[in-house]
Amino acid sequence: MLKKSMYLCLAVSLPAFAADDTAQRLWQNTRQAVQVQERKNVADDAIQTGMENPQQEIQQDTGEALFVAVNHSDWPEVRRLLAQYRQQPDHDEDLALFADAALSKADGNMKAARQKYETLLQRQPDFTRGRLDLARLLFDDHLNREAAAEFAKAAQEPLPEPVLSNIRSFQTAIDQRQSLQGSFNIGSVWNSNVNEGAGGFKCNAEFEGECIDYWNSPEPQSALGLKYEAALSKHWQVQGHHGIAARALAFGRVYRNRQEHNEHTLNLSAGYQFTNARRSLTLSPLWEWSAEGSHASHRAHGARAEWNENKGKWAWNTETEWKKLKYFDEESAHNNGNSFAVYNTLTYMPREDWALFGGLDWQKRTTEDGQGDYRQPALRIGAGKQFAGGFDASALAILQHRSYKADDAIFEQRRRDNEQIYILSAGAERWSIAGMKPTFTFKHRRVNSNIEWLYRYRQNEVGLSLVKVF
């Protein structure tokens, strides 16, 4: 009876594609969490409290109605009243310019709006409401130094306390933008199949009804351990909308009594970034280091690009990444090669407490011996909800098809995998400990393969962790 175990085959032939998915998910979640935190901290309802009309006395006519419409952000009404107001022979051009600037900002024409506000302030330097609106425009347009200067000027005026408090909120938000931002997640994790074992059996030859030559694959092994995820980013404004951005991602698992399945990944990048109110573009080189078990697994260098487009309730994000991988272990050297990935995400927020998102991804992997070459299209769809009382929940589904380019050298069969990943997460900010939010996560993963006995498996992961966003 000849028994052939596939432990070695599993160890050296499976590509390390899971780390790319984790890095993308970690970065997306962190970036969105930081944005949500900023929006919560700079609600500007108080910015209009007690603010004066640029006219010395408010007219009980179209001019007053126009000013009120601007305060209420009723832009169709502002457009209609502004046209009427400018037809009046005794209209106040400063009020008209103020409304026109606000209308340009609402239309997304930030450059024109800024020019109009600056013209207005040249004519009326003491018009604090106009200065505050200009400061908010500069803040929204990610001109942080310029916004800080205008808020500092406005803060010197004798303003109502709600307005001063709001100014301080924006000043704090600007400081946070220019500081280190990110997230940190640490907690316990239990995995039902840490070795991705299929527990399969394949008989190659029989004699008198008994299998005398067969393959078998490892049985699933469960493990309890510690997981960590951290994302850090820093932006330096150089000139106007142009700057430098740096990013660091670190994540991994440390298992009790299953140290051979420990995982650690560090991904670093720094480069050029353009940012304004509507979009951002990042171009940077990257470096990556990974370890499995107690030994370093591979290193990589490459480049990444990221494009973000913001259209109010809609947002679009595209990330591309190219890496050249070099494995440290000679037995894994055949996996040396290139990796290219594109991630596209569309997000829709019908309300401040709801987010729906979906994505289409594509990955390509090439290796020195060609055995690990594959292409992998993927579909992502999910939703997130903030509940009253400081609770939140999210759900994510990922469907992937991985098709290998060449026939397997051992099985003389071209491998094809269909993978499904489902992630449920629930957090309780009201139960935060030292500013860290308790979060429960459940992840179910199932892989179906045409080489079923070796690559088909099921995996459940349950985690309880503390999450900090800053």
Domains of the chain: 41-47+60-177 (1.25.40.10), 180-198+220-469 (2.40.160.40)
Instruction: Please give the Cα distance from 310 to 470 (Å, whole number).
Output: 22
Instruction: Please give the Cα distance from 213 to 198 (Å, whole number).
Output: 19
Instruction: Report phi then psi at 181, rounded to 5.
Output: -120, 160
pLDDT value, residue 43: 66
pLDDT value, residue 4: 53
pLDDT value, residue 8: 37
First to last CA, the chain: 60
Task: Count other C-beta atoms under 10 Å from residue 8's C-beta.
Answer: 10
Instruction: Please give the Cα distance from 209 to 12 (Å, whole number).
Output: 34
Pairing of strands 210-216, 2-5: parallel
pLDDT value, residue 45: 52
In the three-class reduction of DSSP (H, G, I as helix; E, B as strand; rest coil), residue 278 is classed as coil
pLDDT value, residue 352: 87
What are the CA-CA distances from residue 402 to residues 25, 297, 377, 378 (Å)?
19, 22, 7, 9
Contacts by 346-349, CB closer than 8 A, 24 or more apart: 346/314, 346/315, 346/316, 347/32, 347/314, 347/315, 347/316, 347/317, 348/313, 348/314, 348/315, 349/313, 349/315
* Selection from 362, 357, 315 nearest residue 339 by Cα: 362
* Sheet with strand 210-216: strands edge to edge: 2-5, 210-216, 201-207
pLDDT value, residue 160: 93
* Residues of the chain predicted below pLDDT 70: 1-17, 43-60
Pairing of strands 337-351, 354-367: antiparallel
| CA 217, chain centre distance (Å) | 37
For residue 414, which amino acid is it? R
Going through 64-164 in order, the beta strands assigned E by DSSP cover none
